[in-house]
Amino acid sequence: MTKNKIEPGSDRWDSVLKDGAKVFGIQIDRKQTDQLAVYAEELITWNRKKNLTAITDTFDIAVKHFLDSMAIAPMIPNGSYILDIGSGAGFPGIPLKIIMPSLSFMLIDATRKKINFLRHIIRTLKLDQIDALHKRAEDLKSSQAYKNSFDVIVCRAVTSIDFFVKMALPLLMQDGIMLAMKGDKVEKEIESSHLLSSDFSNLCLSDKSIKHNLSIQIKHYVLPFTKAERSIVYINQNAAIK
């Protein structure tokens, strides 16, 4: 399928999203592609004044934002409570909520205009069990209310692996998972990080009575309809009493 502008909500829009989702083993329906069409139209409208994303071509929005967000869906258990750090214009959180309604979300971002847009989209699409907060991960980390609250914490290409894990670990439930969405050169970043250090996870946490071990896996994929290579860093926290 060649790249060109497509009309959100059209049959081709529906086909691109359904065929692209199948690459990740995901089945979506027309209602969901129509919701994504509304999302795309609102993103384009808001972007004219608010500069929310550099990607404005409708095909690119469908592939580089929506389908890319879906890549981690097979790794997320149904019913999970998910924190999306640095959600921006809603990626990956809102596309995941649309295709997996059983998920609950907290989307956070440090930019007020992006949070305003996210709240608008949540209202427009009538999504439930999802909230958008004008906060940094550091704000949540310092609050007891969010300690060990989330089953899954995700971050899409907005920070280093080290910083992501340092922010996420105190907020993650025992045996929770962290998913970092990255480009194709992630091995080098991990090798130069402190993740493989035996005491790295304990340095992130205040409770020293627990020994934390991090299991790290990398999944590579090619974005549908493109030759763009991407990576998902899957980090599982296994904790045991010392």
* Secondary structure (DSSP) of 146-198: GTT-EEEEEEESSS-HHHHHHHHGGGEEEEEEEEEEE-S-HHHHHHTSSTTST
| Secondary element (H or E) of residue 119 | helix 112-124
**HSE, side-chain direction, 13 A CA sphere, residue 33:** 22
First-to-final CA distance of the chain: 55
Record the pTM.
0.91
Tell me the domain boundaries of the chain. 79-241
Residue 93 phi/psi, 5-degree rounding, is: -55, -50
Phi/psi class of residue 58: alpha, beta or left (left: φ > 0; alpha: ψ in -120 to 50)?
Answer: alpha
| Secondary element (H or E) of residue 44 | helix 30-50
> Along the 242 residues of the chain, how does pLDDT read in single tens digits?
445 789 999 999 999 999 999 999 999 999 999 999 999 999 999 999 999 999 999 999 999 999 999 999 999 999 999 999 999 999 999 999 999 999 999 999 999 999 999 999 999 999 999 999 999 998 998 888 999 999 999 999 777 888 899 899 999 998 899 999 998 888 888 888 777 665 565 555 555 545 567 888 999 999 999 999 999 999 997 754 44
How many residues comprise the chain?
242
Second CATH level (architecture) for the domain 79-241: 3-Layer(aba) Sandwich (3.40)
For residue 27, give Cα distances in angstroms to 8, 22, 24, 47.
19, 6, 9, 29
